[in-house]
Chains A and B, each alone.
Chain A
Amino acid sequence: MAVIAGRPARGALLPPQLRALTGTRSGALAIFVVRRILWMVPIVFFVIVITFTLMHLAPGSPWDKGGGRQLSDTVVNNLNIRYGLNKPVFTPWFDFSTGHFIPFRWDDQFKLYIWNVAHFDFGLSYQYQGKTVSTLLLESWPYTATIGVLAFLLIIPIGVGLGVVAALRQNTRIDYITMGFATIAASFPNFVIGALMVVAFSVLAYRATGGNFYLPAAGFAMDDSLIMPVVTLALLPIAYTARLTRASTLETIRQDFVRTAWAKGLPERLVVVRHVLKNSLIPVVTTLGPTFAFLVTGSVIVETVFAIPGIGRAFVVAIESRDYPMILGTTILFSLVVAIANLVVDVLYVFIDPRVRLT
């Protein structure tokens, strides 16, 4: 995190034309954003290196079936050629047995992959014949992102709201009920909540009302089928955010400047919104970045329970079937989402907290 206060010699390494920019607040922000975006290139590269290595270390080949009869060796061999798996994964630079450098070769699997990614070609999926990874990601991500964004929109008002109310009414019944709910929501696993909701709001509701009122147990459309998956996905982050907001608000309430605000006779609304909330939200915003990234990269459980054709399940299926290009493509997408979410959070600090300076 590049949030450092009061460091000297900012922009010393920049060309003179840009150095002038660092003097202004918005200029510094622009340089910060550009630099962070450029940093994503090495980040993605290392994500690829790690994923590539782990992926090939995992036992089994993409062509091994989960049971029953297996493909014959001749077919496996032809498949390896078809997808370039007959080439070496990495080629070493040095041969320790002979003490000589090995002539550089471009056509190992790793270098070919990097070369293709540099051209925005993420390859063909092994599971789905003739489909590119980009197509598969573009097919499944919108579903996941929609549900994730909707869940995120629930978290801010509900999670933050509950946390502030509980803090302001500390040790009252409201506080206990709110925190009790948060504890329960945080401790029940997704699949239990999801399954219980399906039984209650789909199956039992359908029976009780003769099919007049119930929520669909599966499928994706911009209608009531979204309610249960969004709620299931949002519950845990809501609980987490509420507890964090409460703790942070309680800390702020006891600060001197809040006492001053009360003492000078400000109305409660002003004290809470202008003095308490603005300060107590800083740690909450820090977690909202990763939470957003977590939500829009999908939950395999929510997507399985509610049969949503999203990216979370596609990723798990890709890992299970050793669909290497799909695993890499999804990991790259996820790492970019996380990097961008963190960048947005860092930029938001500037607006929430005037003390923060960007370098």
Chain B
Amino acid sequence: MHIGAWSRALTLATAGVFIAACGPGGTTTENLASPDKQILRANNGTEPNSFDPTQQTYTYERAVGIQTFDSLFRAKADGSDVEPVGATSYNVSPDGLTYTFHLRQNEKWSDGKPVVAGDWVYGWKHFLNPALAAGYVDPFFDQTIKGASGYGNVDVSSASAVDAYLNGLGLSAPDDHTFVVQLDHPAAYFKWVATLWMAVPLRKDIIEQAAGGAFASTDATKAEAWANNAATIVGNGPYKIKEIASKDHVTLVPNPNYWAPAPHLQQIIYYEIADGNTAYSQYQTGALDVIGVPLADVTVVRSDPKLSKEAILIPTLSQYWISMNTTRAPLDDKNVRMALAKSVDRDKLVNDIEHGNGKSLSTFIPKGMSGYDTSDNAQSFDPAAAKQLLATSGKKDALAKMKLLTRNTTASKTLNQFLADQWSTNLGVNIQLDVIDSKTVTRDIRKGQFDIYGLDGWIGDYPDQQDWFDIFVTGSCHNLNWGCLSDPSYDDLVTKADAESDKTKRASMYSQAQKKLIDNAVVAFMYQPYEYDLVKAYVKGLTVTTTDDQNLPGDGRYNTAFITQHT
């Protein structure tokens, strides 16, 4: 199941799991293969829609973006805080409104020129240009940066209007090594926003050269011309693009001018094999080193003596749930929603449908980040209590008329059939599946035209709770709050927590907000999906962290990885 495909980013595991699974860790490099054998071949699944990181939204795009461009920060390996990459330190003004980033002194572009603060201002403005309509501007940037809130109201056909908007943004470069961002309101999570892969510096001279000279800020085609040619994709990241073989593979080689010590891996080849079974065959014939195991082959891999040793199970920072339309009777009744939530056996779901690749979870925040707390068992599986709740509400017949909106994919149909069976068995209510084409499902949920929709979910962009709780804030229906919850007391808690700089106070407010979500059964929380990957035994030293991309374990820190001698 890949439900929250949009921002599929975070995976998490304790270091111990990975040291056991992937060999001796990043420090010992015994038995190192020769440099010409230091090639990592992984399946990234799909070609990036753009090689301009500011335009990237999908995990298969970010996978290339984070190798070629560095943001100001990245998440620490354990996800507890940020650590420096493009910046070495930062200060926040006492009012929480001005972030001053001190940039890395010796940082260079892959063509050898120094990275200066002006490149950061240019890159961020390129990203925030409304005419380019980058997917991640809203809500992370336009709702935090000073002067950015008018993002949606700029006349994108007028160059002067776009220029006026961009010049009014709170972004400045007082000197070559200082990048200042002014905020609209205090946002304690802004350091996490600065880890996002699309907030990078860009080279004005190269972009204009590729466009054939200076261009109007409304000309999206010229602004993106540089990103289609490996030669003009000049980045500040650890690797640079050597070759783009469209829809087949992308080859990355180390950036010779990168500030950190040279990595062992001399080539990373990301193949774009869409069919998981084909990738699995390629892995078995030695043509790929890293793949995600297709769901259909999970049992085979588990029982295979050789493959099972190369398999790793990675908890992801994500959570899946069922959305219920709180504006439609009888789902406007909390007891009815709770009855649905309490009558699904999540352990059985994880075992039967996901072949054990997941963790049943009837609370919101997934295991592996702050806020994870399973003490609230209001939604836990309890068929007797569920029947009781439904009987008390007296709305059993009305509930039986509800439909479960299902995307026309095998994965969605299998899962939703399971849910319908559970409600039939445990609640005595037969809810029909409404299976339609995926695009139509998206259109319908955006308009709020559904009864029950699932499975839906969220994959964190960074390990901070703000990224999660903002989902259910009033007015965010288009994002993921399909049931359109509007609870002023919840909004108040989350808004205050987002701005609060005191960690303890912040955690306490998020905790109260989580309790509201669970107890009101706005959605029925189901399970945290895990990722099941295969990594060849000769690939060592992968540092698997909370910010790795789908089926690319350790891709945030390839500098520790290496290939050992093998036949």
Q: What are the nearest 7 A-B pairs in CB distance?
A: A60-B439, A74-B152, A68-B4, A309-B247, A130-B224, A217-B281, A78-B133
Closest CB of chain A to B95's CB: distance in Å?
Answer: 28
Contact assessment for A305 and B287 in the assembled complex, using a CB-CB cutoff below 8 Å: no
From B70-78, B333-341, B454-462, the one touching the partner chain is B454-462
B443 neighbours in A (Cβ, 8 Å): 59-61, 64
**B-contact 0/1 string along A182-212, CB 8 Å cutoff:** 0000000000000100110011001100010
Chain B proximity mask over A128-154: 1 for CB below 8 Å, otherwise 0: 111100001001100000000000000
Q: Bits for B243-256, please: 1 = Cβ < 8 Å to A, else 0.
A: 00111100000000
Partner of B225, one of A66, A70, A130, A216: A130
How close is A75's CB to chain B, nearest CB, in angstroms? Answer: 5
Question: Among the listed B55, B247, B274, B284, which residue makes an inter-chain contact with A203, where contact means beta carbons less than 8 Å apart?
Answer: B284
A218 near B273: Cβ-Cβ < 8 Å: yes
Known: A59-B439, A206-B285, A306-B278. A75 touches B133 (CB 8 A): yes
Taking a contact as CB atoms under 8 Å apart, the answer to whether A78 and B130 are in contact is yes
Cross-chain contact A128 with B50 (CB below 8 angstroms): yes
Residues in chain A near residue B5, CB distance under 8 A: 65-68
Q: How many residues of A contact B (CB 8 A)?
A: 53
Q: Which of A82, A127, A136, A211 has the largest count of B CB atoms less than 10 A from its CB?
A: A82
B417 at interface, CB cutoff 8 A: no
- Asked if A217 and B138 make an inter-chain contact with CB atoms under 8 angstroms apart, the answer reads no
The 0/1 profile, CB within 8 Å of B marked 1, for residues 220-238 of chain A is 1000000000000000000
Taking CB as reference atom, which chain A residue is nearest B439? A60
Question: Contact mask B45-61 → A, CB, 8 Å, 1/0?
Answer: 00101101001000000
Q: Could you pull out 19 A-B pairs where Cβ atoms are within 8 angstroms?
A: A58-B439, A65-B442, A67-B5, A68-B6, A68-B8, A69-B6, A70-B478, A70-B479, A71-B135, A75-B137, A78-B131, A81-B156, A198-B278, A202-B285, A203-B285, A218-B279, A218-B281, A218-B287, A307-B274
Q: How close is A325's CB to chain B, nearest CB, in angstroms?
A: 13
A-contact bits for B190-232, CB 8 A (1 contact / 0 none):
0000000000000000000000000000001100110110000
Tell yes or no: A72 within 8 A of B by CB: yes
Count CB-based A-B contacts (< 8 Å): 180
Q: In the assembly, what is the distance between CA of A128 and CA of B287, in Å? A: 27
Bound together, the chains give a CA A59 to CA B445 distance in angstroms of: 13
Expressed in whole angstroms, the minimum distance between the Cβ of B122 and any Cβ of chain A is 18
B138 in contact with A69 (CB, 8 Å): no
The reply on A314 being an interface residue by CB < 8 A is yes
Which residue of chain B lies nearest to A310 when distances are taken between CB atoms in the complex? B247
- Chain B nearest CB from A227 CB (Å) reads 14
Q: Which of B5, B138, B281, B479 has the most CB of A within 10 A?
A: B281
Contact of A60 among B50, B131, B442 (CB under 8 A): B442
The answer to whether B131 and A139 have CB atoms under 8 Å apart is no
Q: How far is the CB of A303 from chain B (nearest CB, A)?
A: 9
- Nearest neighbor of B47 in chain A, beta-carbon distance: A128
Which of A59, A78, A195 sits near B440, CB closer than 8 Å? A59
The smallest C-beta distance from A112 to any residue of chain B, in angstroms, reads 15
Interface check A73, CB cutoff 8 A = yes
Contact with A along B262-293 (1 / 0, CB 8 A): 00000000011111011101101111000000
User: Does chain B have a CB within 8 A of A77?
Assistant: yes
Q: Which residues of B contact A128 (CB under 8 A)?
A: 47, 49-50
The residue that A64 contacts in the complex, of B151, B221, B272, B439, with Cβ under 8 A, is B439
Nearest CB in chain B: distance from A357 CB, A: 47
For chain A residues 66-110, which have a beta carbon within 8 Å of chain B? Answer: 66-75, 77-79, 81-82
Q: Which of B49, B138, B224, B245 contacts A75 (CB 8 A)?
A: B138
Select which of B49, B55, B245, B458 is within 8 A of A68 by beta carbon.
B458
Of A66, A74, A139, A198, the contact of B442 (CB 8 Å cutoff): A66
> Would you call A219 an interface residue if the criterion is a C-beta within 8 Å of the partner chain's C-beta atoms?
yes
Compute how far the CA of A124 lies from the CA of B220 in the bound complex, rounded to whole angstroms: 11
**A52 is an interface residue with CB less than 8 A from chain B:** no
What is the minimal beta-carbon distance from B368 to any residue of chain A, in angstroms? 19
Of A59, A67, A70, A305, which is in contact with the most chain B CB atoms at under 10 Å from its CB?
A: A67
Contact A307 B285 (CB under 8 A): no
| Residues 244 to 280 of chain A near chain B (Cβ within 8 Å) | none
User: Given A59, A67, A77, A139, which contacts B247 in the complex, CB threshold below 8 Å?
Assistant: A139
Give Cα distance in the complex from A314 to B272, angstroms.
13
Which residues from A are CB-within-8-Å of B228? 129-131
- By beta carbon, the residue of chain B nearest A80 is B133
Task: Name the A residues within 8 Å of B3 (CB-CB).
Answer: 67-68
A69 with B458, Cβ < 8 A, contacts A305-B278, A307-B278 known: yes
Q: Once the chains bind, are A129 and B479 in contact (CB under 8 Å)?
A: no
Supposing A77-B152, A129-B50, A131-B228 touch, asked if A68 and B7 sit within 8 A by C-beta, the answer is yes
Distance (whole angstroms) from the CB of A115 to the closest CB of chain B: 18
A207–B281 Cα gap in the complex (Å)?
11
Docked complex Cα distance between A66 and B440 (Å): 10
A72→B437 CA distance, assembly (Å): 21
CB-based nearest A residue for B274? A304
Q: Does A313 interact with chain B (Cβ within 8 Å)?
A: yes
Is A322 interfacial (CB 8 A cutoff)? yes
A214 contacts the other chain (CB 8 A): yes
B residues 120-135 touching A (CB-CB < 8 Å): 130-135
List residues of chain B with CB within 8 A of the CB of A320. 438-439
Nearest CB of chain A from residue B156's CB, rounded to whole Å: 5
Question: A71 — which chain B residues lie within 8 A by C-beta?
Answer: 135, 138, 478
Contact of B479 with A69 in the complex, beta carbons under 8 Å: yes
Tell me whether A73 and B152 are in contact in the complex, defined as CB-CB below 8 angstroms, given that A60-B443, A68-B480 are known contacts.
Answer: yes
In the complex, the chain A residue whose C-beta lies closest to that of B286 is: A211
Bound complex: CA A239 to CA B229 (Å): 44
- Distance between B226 CB and nearest chain A CB, rounded to angstroms: 9
Q: Which residues of A contact B156 (CB under 8 A)?
A: 78, 81-82
Q: Does B359 contact A (CB under 8 A)?
A: no
B325-368 vs A, CB cutoff 8 Å, 1 = contact: the mask equals: 00000000000000000000000000000000000000000000
- Chain B residues with CB under 8 Å of A211's CB are 285-286
With most chain A CB atoms within 10 A of its CB, the pick from B5, B132, B275 is: B275
B442→A129 contact, CB < 8 A: no
B49 and A307 form a contact (CB under 8 A): no
| A67 adjacent to B6 (CB under 8 Å) | yes
Taken residue by residue from 439 to 468, chain B's Cβ proximity to chain A (1 for < 8 Å, 0 otherwise) reads as: 110110010000000001111000000000
Interface residues of B in 67-86 (CB under 8 A from A): none
B139 located at the interface, meaning its Cβ lies under 8 Å from any Cβ of chain A in the complex: yes
- A228 vs B220: C-alpha distance when bound (angstroms): 42
- Given contacts A128-B49, A130-B224, could you give 12 more A-B pairs where the C-beta distance is less than 8 Å? A65-B5, A66-B5, A68-B3, A68-B456, A69-B479, A75-B135, A82-B133, A129-B49, A130-B50, A217-B282, A217-B285, A313-B274
